[in-house]
Amino acid sequence: MSAVVVDNRVRAARIVLVVLGVLVLAFGAWVLVTTVRPNRIGGLATWLLGAVVLHDAILSPFVLAVGMGLRRAGRALRTWVLVVVQAAVVLGSVLALVVLPEIAAKAHGTKNDTVLPFDYTTRLLVVEGVLVAVVVIALVVGAVTARRRSDQPLVAGTTSP
Amino acid sequence: MRHTRDAMASPNRTARSAVVTGRLLGIAFLVCFLTGVYSHLLQEPLGWMRFPTRPVQLYQFTQGLHITAGIAIIPLLLAKLNVVMPALVQTPPVRSVLHLLERASIAVFVASALVQVVTGLLNTYQWYPWPFPFKQVHNALAYVLIGSLLIHIGTKLQIITRYWRKRDSFDAQGRFVADATVGSELPDPNDPAGQEARPGSASPSGGFVGRLHRWIDGTPAPGPVAPATDTVPVTRTAASADGRRQRVARRGFIAGVTAATAGVVALTVGQSSAVGEPFNVFGPRKRHLGQNGLPVNRTARAAGVLATATAADWALTVAGPSVSRTFSRAELIALGQTEARLPIACVEGWSQMATWKGVRMRDLLAAVQVDPDVHVRVTSLERHGGYRIMEMGPEYTADPTTLIALELNGEKLDLEHGFPARIIAPGRPGVLQTKWIERIEVIA
């Protein structure tokens, strides 16, 4: 690896940002220990650690594997088909991440009928169904137009998530 | 470790992608931080603080923005973490004491960001499955997060300035331009296994990673070197194909992140925005649903006021420094009612405009011979809860729209909305719009 060259103005700005950051972070730590009882901070530490482990050890490898699979499966697709499929998969995943806890919260019980008033399970299934339909239509239209214009080249390499 | 990292090489895991996603994420975090601090100070002001009461929808806007930006952070944060994934498994894991500190600050940043987003989201569902108090931790972690973000921007500043502009980031063919002098920890997608930096390693694109990339991208294994005369055109075609491949990859990535961000925002923002109302598919609240056509947060049963709030002898005590009076509901009505259009805007993000009718706070204060520019303490019939007692500064007490509300949306105030009387003031969070009030006391 070549030596890292740091510009002088960057160096000055870096010092300011890091010092300010350390101060703000320390203030946050002070607010934490003065407003939260010590026996609760242990529970928070578990959650902070758990969040990183859950993301880095479970979600990331999963996303990496799915991404590689999509990249391979998508290499014969036309660009626009690939972009549509990819957008639908990412949107569907993020919606599931946001709405599944909402379904769990509703199952857990709400304080009154105006909190979580919808049938989120059905709504999530409908929206995910629409996204699946969009993917299928894009794939079919892509395949049909590709066959009609078979003289045009396909996208060679494709993409990752 | 090295194989895992090489396998992660992608046109979307470059310093440029990190800068692009990082900028958006940084803006979203800053918006959440500023609106969050504003909301916190409204609830726990320092003694000298006064707050704006106009526009009356100010808090509805800032808190709606807080929740919306927070929801937008979910896809943006996942995108950013995906971009920088190879840095997680870099070799060697630690190069120096400073590098260790930098990685520790990133761990703090990622941990607090994930916890803030998850607990914030679940708070909008009023679900608290964790062993710590939400409000205090959300407030403290906000500073931890912004502090570690400042440190992160500082340590990466050389990379950020190098890849800030698109034209500095790609060559004429659209391939990422790796610059080893800025210290990026992400692999070069043009050279995933970094053979150039590792003389003496096996043949280019060889080994497990080479086979993996060939399997993924369907590129042929490196063959014998072509005759010298063909080298230049062949290389140019390969570069242009590679540039195209990288551009498609980037476009797909941007489309995915944009779709996820726009989608998740559009399908939930209807709980706090009239524009988004028709698309409120997953919002935790539905506007106009509830007693008096308004959602409810704390019910009369939960507050333990079912008997006291409906008692025939209920009266509101107003205590001035010299005069103290009690008012029955009929006596309050007789003081003369004013109508005001003010929103209820909850800290959890939902909000709705409503029409209120009741006695002006300043008229009530005049009835006990007090000038309107005073601090008051309002006590609710609630048996317990952090918002049983609420204090209000002179900017609210003197405001002509601050009411002791008796009617809501053209009907008698419902028990769930604070019958017999509640406070409604402009620009304050819903938790400070105290319901089921029993006492107003002038404190300064």
Per DSSP, helices labelled H in B163-206 are none
d(CA B323, CA B302): 34
Please report the number of interchain residue pairs, chain A to chain B, with beta-carbon separation below 8 angstroms.
291
Of residues A25, A94, A160, nearest to B143 (C-beta): A25
- ipTM of the predicted structure? 0.89
Edge-to-edge strand list for the sheet holding B376-380: B324-327, B316-319, B437-442, B376-380, B389-392
pLDDT of residue B183: 87
Q: Do B158 and A18 touch (CB under 8 A)?
A: no
> Which phi-psi region, left, alpha or beta, contains residue B418 (left: φ > 0; alpha: ψ -120 to 50)?
left
How far from each other are the two terminal CA atoms of chain B, in whole angstroms?
66
Nearest CA in chain B to A53: B111
Of residues B133, B248, B285, nearest to A114 (C-beta): B285
pTM recorded for the entire structure: 0.90
Measured over the CA atoms of residue B225, residue B226, residue B229 and residue B232, the dihedral's sign is negative
Cβ neighbours of residue A12 closer than 8 Å, sequence gap 6 or more: none
pLDDT digits (tens, 9 = 90+) for A20-29: 999 999 999 9
8 Å CB contact between B356 and B342:
yes
CA angle centred on A52, ends A48 and A56, rounded to 5°: 175
pLDDT of residue B180: 87
Nearest CA in chain B to A104: B127
Q: Do A98 and B268 touch (CB under 8 A)?
A: yes
Cα-atom radius of gyration of chain B, to the nearest Å?
30
Q: Is B277 exposed, middle or buried (0-12, 13-18, 19+ CB in 10 A)?
A: middle
Pairing of strands B351-360, B403-408: antiparallel
b/e code B293-318 from CB counts within 10 Å (16+ = b): bbbbbbbbeebebeebbeeeebbbeb
Residue B303: closest CA among B379, B358, B359, B392? B379
pLDDT of residue A75: 76
- Name every chain B residue with its beta carbon within 8 A of the beta carbon of A6: 158
Q: What is the mean pLDDT of each run of 10 residues along chain B (444 residues)?
A: 80 94 97 97 92 95 96 96 92 91 95 97 94 96 98 95 94 91 89 50 55 70 48 68 88 92 95 90 94 94 94 95 94 94 94 96 94 95 90 95 96 95 96 96 90
Q: Do B12 and A160 touch (CB under 8 A)?
A: yes
- Name every chain B residue with its beta carbon within 8 A of the beta carbon of A65: none
pLDDT of residue B24: 96
Q: Is B286 helix (H, G, I), strand (E, B) or coil?
A: coil
Mutate to test the interface with A, among B89, B123, B132, B134 (most CBs of A within 10 A): B132
Residue spans of chain A under pLDDT 70? 1-3, 150-161
User: Phi and psi for B403 in degrees, rounded to 5?
Assistant: -120, 155
Name all contacts of B250-255 with Cβ < 8 Å and 24+ positions apart. B250/B11, B250/B12, B250/B17, B251/A79, B251/A83, B251/A159, B252/A82, B252/A83, B252/A86, B252/A87, B252/A158, B252/A159, B253/A86, B253/A159, B253/A160, B253/A161, B253/B12, B253/B17, B253/B79, B255/A83, B255/A84, B255/A86, B255/A87
pLDDT of residue B228: 46
> Which phi-psi region, left, alpha or beta, contains residue A112 (left: φ > 0; alpha: ψ -120 to 50)?
beta
Q: Do A28 and B143 touch (CB under 8 A)?
A: yes
Q: Is B288 helix (H, G, I), strand (E, B) or coil?
A: coil
